[in-house]
Structure 1
Amino acid sequence: MWKSHPKALPYLFLSEMWERFGYYLMIGIFTLYLKDVEAGFAMTEKEASDLYGTFIALVFLTPFIGGLIADRYFGYKKSIIIGGIMMGVGYMMMGIHNQTMLYVAMTLVILGNGFFKPNISTLLGNFYNDDEYKEKKDEGYNIFYMGINVGAFICNFFGAALQILLGWQYAFMAAGVGMFIGVIVFILGTKHYGDKTEKKGVQPGDMPFYKIILYILLPSIIFGVIGWLLKGVQSDLNPNSYIFGSDSTDAFIFACIPVVFFYASLYFKAKVEDKRPIGALLAIFSVVILFWAVFKLNGSALNTWADRYTDREITGNTEKVFNGLKFSQEVDYVKDSVAVYDSSFRLQKVDGKVQKEYNYPVYYRNVAPEKLPKEGSKVSLWATNLSQSINPGWVIILTPLVVAFFTYLRSRKKEPSTPTKIAFGLLISALSVLVMVAAVQIGNNGSEKVSVWWLVANYGIITIGELFLSPMGLSIVSKLSPKNITSLMMGGWFLSTSIGNKLSGVLASMWDQYDDKANFFWVNFSLLMFATILMFGLVKSLNRVMKEKGIN
């Protein structure tokens, strides 16, 4: 696999694999930790989803500034190392059970990802700009993307075992160790990087950095404060007068306005030869926001689905193996625990003791009566966060098949263009949501638990869409970006991811508002179909731009 690719690829692959090991281990347990009453912060579904959405949004917003700093001042190597160390420290601190420390840790992860994420992706693209590897760029990004998902697959097993054996803190510490290993691997590959890690420097016509602070960062902070303070129209559905759902969401949306304006200005101020490529990238960035809004439900709404609505009981040899490896927990069955359930309730902690059940449904509340165990018996349940390994598991299985499929089409000169791949990725992702609509129907709208195979099928289909879209997005940014702002435009790709992530948090926070859960998934399907129609409408003009640049 490696022979026909740059020698740096294995090091970048492994660095990204370990970085994603840490990130997805943390994400897999994040909302579960926030909602845990006894060892977490006893948050409601809405509170946890809102904080989750804001966090992952900011994680992917900072690559905008991190990419720009790397392009002009630090270079890629220094930026990647600084970012990796900050993230590792942030993960280590996240398990300290103190709300202030949680926010400090989240800040370190947010800033660290800004330095790490866009620059390792840009560095990879630099190696494929050479004529020797140019035609292999899409394939290189697919392989790199598989590295992401190897890390994302294995991490949840470590997270489950450490959380069950030792507690949340040790699971978060494992995420930090993974990140530090990623930094070490990256440094070991230095001899293969050559001059590809060097900064581009400030180019003629570039906006000075002090102007970026004055015209973008400072306005973003001001707009964010305005969004936090500004109130919308009060109603029964919106008693707190939020504009977009919560204070943090309002602040984030407003803070994005100056950044979006900045990216739009790149188009208007660009040289004639750069105008159409930048315009094409901005159009793609706009459309894929809706993909990320639905895809990132994996850490919130779909995690909730796995926790509340999926049959997680294991028996026989599977039970023995999972119990032995600490991938499962034994849960007592007490008849009174399922006597009453009201979605308006949540667990409350008073004087260090759990007083009452509120909006924290016990596992047995929606188990069919004939399937309930005997009073006082124990049942083994696989850890909820293991469901987060289904998607990356599919990526590992399907990536070689997708790469082989496109290689075959390329050999017959029938390979679709990168924009066409993205359009089909959106369509396939939309179809995956229909699986969850069917799962809701099979489970009688959550009154009975359903098989985990519904989640497996949903993730399997959306993974195909993801492989058509996400690595292709990284590839097309590398192909179309003007050389002096490649990392900045990679930051634009992550800005669209950021906005999509925040919208994902908004969607997830509405979960409890839908009495019929099928309607929640129909909304997601509609969003993806809208994005699909837009993208197919853009394909012709995007292909024309790529042809003008002499690329596929």
Structure 2
Amino acid sequence: MGKQKKHPKGLMVLFFTEMWERFGFYLLIGIFFLYMTESKDSQFPGMGFSGVKASDIYGSYLALVYLTPFIGGLLADRYLGYRLSITIGGLLFSAGYFGLAINNETAFFVSLLLIIMGNGLFKPNISALVGKIYDSNPKYRDLKDSGYNIFYMGINIGAFICNFIAAYLRINYGWGWAFAAAGVGMLIGVIWFWTGQFFTDNIKMVDKVSPPTKDDMPMKKILYTLFLPAAVAGTIGWMIPGNIFSSDSTDAFIFFSLVVVIFYFNIYRTADKKEKQPIKALLAVFGSVIVFWAIFHQNGAALTVWAENYTNRQVPELLEEPIKTLSLNQVVTTDMREVEQTDLHGAPVLDAFGHPVTELKPDPYFDNLPKENWPETGKVNLISTELFQSINPGFIILFTPLVVGFFNFLARKRKKGPVTTPAKIGWGMVITALSAVVMILAVIVSKNGAVKASAGWLFGTYAVITVGELCLSPMGLSLVSKLSPPRITALMMGGWFLSTSIGNKLSGVLSGMWQTYDNKAFFFLTNALLAMVSVILIFSMLPWLNRVMKEYTEKK
């Protein structure tokens, strides 16, 4: 009898639900940094934050967005179930996006809090559900890796189309309309999630709450031994004089995270003997992939700055009419305007009397463009910066069938059998290091930003890191699903997102150091070296990881 090739029907329900959720999430990421640094005096005002403050908020937001799945996974496992958690999370998401449409600093931070809470309930549980519907029937289990790749395509279809919608709305109508579009998309996702279940019973069948056993820690004890100490630790990190790690928010996050990390080690310490090795293997992988997220999520900060100020975004003649027709272009001028000078940390430079020092400058796009190359008309049409955020998800849609096909080909040809999931993660980190090398070359060719770099360099680095992402991110979700003890699957999925959270915060910290590097090549060299450290760790553990996975999955 041939192998099962048809995926469970529930996959398409989860696929499109996740597609709409990621539509909103990545719409925000695409314009988040731009919105925060947009002047309050613009036609469509932004928050007016400095680049350093925006990087700090960006990293903190992404860190917290991926920290809360730890809590959301716990609540789903023990009390709410997956479907209710996903629904509540989706509604919180939508409320947060609609709140961002209000151009007010208080509304801004309250809305970010709602999105952070929504992601905590939504993200780990929809990912865990994918694994559950494959485990529910033995005939689907061999398709789990490819199922996660298909699911990952849904994520990236939403991520691809959202930036075109965001560019059109924010250029023509303002930032608020773009954020509101994200809220509408999330509501569509919630409606699809519930109506789609009428056509399949896969999802309802696996949505079972697992009450804590006598070996599990009661929720009250978790409150006193984890959440309360973590909150206290975070508060101490925020309030200590000066900074240990670049900013108050970073100190608070690191202190908070240390308590959560200790909690996960305690899960390992108190687990049954048969569960210890798979939990230990997962924790080892979680620690190793932090660097990937630190590099990958610079797309919304450091690489956005590169796209905005260092990349030639002038609309090619071939595309000028279509881009204008779609209203996806920005028009910038060489007209001089008074701009306050700032230091490396974004603080205003003051004169002897305490007044801000100003200078006459054109649009920032012309800062590193020689005057002889300024347009005679004084105006130039530029492709909107956020459209570059669609390069990565576009490549994922194109490359996913190729990567899946490549690994299927190796599975048929290799005498040792298929490439293991941990090995795919290791090779993903190798490729991630190469993506940083592409940007080093971009800096060299553009003479350290003295001339505008070709947009081809961004296409190149995103193409490379996309292959790395496909080897690593969906495989990480698959690995958690394979090695997690059934009673704590969502909780361990939360651990995967905790490692993502720490990496995301590091991405903000690294992006905040952008201005401190005179030679930008050294900024990207730092990324490459960090990635290689992770590569060494993963491949040194590979024989042990493969052995644990083989032994545990055979017993499962």
Range class of TM-score, shorter chain: over 0.9
1:532 aligned to 535, 540, 543, which one?
A: 535
1:165 aligned to 163, 169, 172, which one?
A: 172
State the partner residue of 1:219.
229
1:366 aligned to 368, 372, 395, which one?
A: 368
* Larger deviation, residues 314-323 vs 304-313: 314-323
State the partner residue of 1:111.
117
1:54 aligns with 2:64: no
1:8 aligned to 10, 32, 35, which one?
A: 10
What's the TM-score once normalised by structure 1's chain length? Answer: 0.94
1:319 aligns with 2:320: yes
Matches within 5 A, 1:17-416: 17-37=19-39, 38=41, 39-129=45-135, 130-191=137-198, 192=200, 193-231=203-241, 241-334=242-335, 336=336, 344=344, 356=358, 362-374=364-376, 376-412=377-413, 414-416=417-419
- 1:435-460 Cα distance to aligned partner (Å, 9 max, x none): 10011111111111111100000000
State the AA in 2 paired with 1:525: A
State the partner residue of 1:426.
429
> Which consecutive unaligned segments of at least 5 residues does structure 1 have?
232-240, 349-353
Contact 2:344 2:516 in 1 (8 A): no
Distance 1:218 1:60 in 2: 19
CA displacement at 1:54 relative to structure 2:
0.2
2:470 aligned to 467, 470, 474, which one?
A: 467
**Distance 1:255-1:173 versus aligned 2 partners, 3 A rule:** same
Please give the root-mean-square deviation of Cα atoms over the aligned residues, in Å.
2.2
Distance 2:247 2:170 in 1: 31
CA displacement at 1:341 relative to structure 2:
8.3
CA displacement at 1:346 relative to structure 2:
6.3
- 1:91-127 Cα distance to aligned partner (Å, 9 max, x none): 1101211111111100000000000000000001001
State the AA in 2 paired with 1:194: K
State the AA in 1 paired with 2:463: G
State the AA in 2 paired with 1:407: N
Matches within 5 A, 1:419-498: 419-498=422-501
Distance 1:136 1:395 in 2: 19
**Distance 1:535-1:12 versus aligned 2 partners, 3 A rule:** same
* Larger deviation, residues 66-75 vs 90-99: 90-99
**Distance 1:347-1:286 versus aligned 2 partners, 3 A rule:** closer
State the partner residue of 2:353.
none
Contact 1:347 1:359 in 2 (8 A): no
Distance 2:312 2:341 in 1: 18
**Distance 1:175-1:123 versus aligned 2 partners, 3 A rule:** same
Distance 2:297 2:114 in 1: 21
Distance 2:62 2:339 in 1: 37
Secondary structure, counterpart of 1:379 in structure 2 = strand
Distance 2:362 2:515 in 1: 12
State the partner residue of 1:351.
none
Secondary structure, counterpart of 1:245 in structure 2 = coil
CA displacement at 1:359 relative to structure 2:
11
Distance 1:141 1:505 in 2: 28
State the AA in 1 paired with 2:215: G
- The aligned length equals 536
Secondary structure, counterpart of 2:206 in structure 1 = coil
* Larger deviation, residues 308-317 vs 168-177: 308-317
**Distance 1:359-1:441 versus aligned 2 partners, 3 A rule:** farther
Contact 1:87 1:112 in 2 (8 A): yes
Secondary structure, counterpart of 2:382 in structure 1 = strand
Secondary structure, counterpart of 1:381 in structure 2 = strand
* Larger deviation, residues 82-91 vs 196-205: 196-205
**Distance 1:286-1:538 versus aligned 2 partners, 3 A rule:** same
Secondary structure, counterpart of 1:186 in structure 2 = helix
State the AA in 2 paired with 1:101: A
**Distance 1:52-1:357 versus aligned 2 partners, 3 A rule:** farther
Percent identity of paired positions between Structure 1 and Structure 2 = 50
What's the TM-score once normalised by structure 2's chain length? Answer: 0.93
CA displacement at 1:377 relative to structure 2:
2.9
CA displacement at 1:185 relative to structure 2:
1.1
Contact 2:52 2:345 in 1 (8 A): no
Contact 2:339 2:360 in 1 (8 A): no
Distance 1:521 1:345 in 2: 20
1:516 aligns with 2:526: no
Distance 1:356 1:340 in 2: 4
Contact 1:343 1:512 in 2 (8 A): no
- 1:388-427 Cα distance to aligned partner (Å, 9 max, x none): 1011011011001011111222233532100000000000
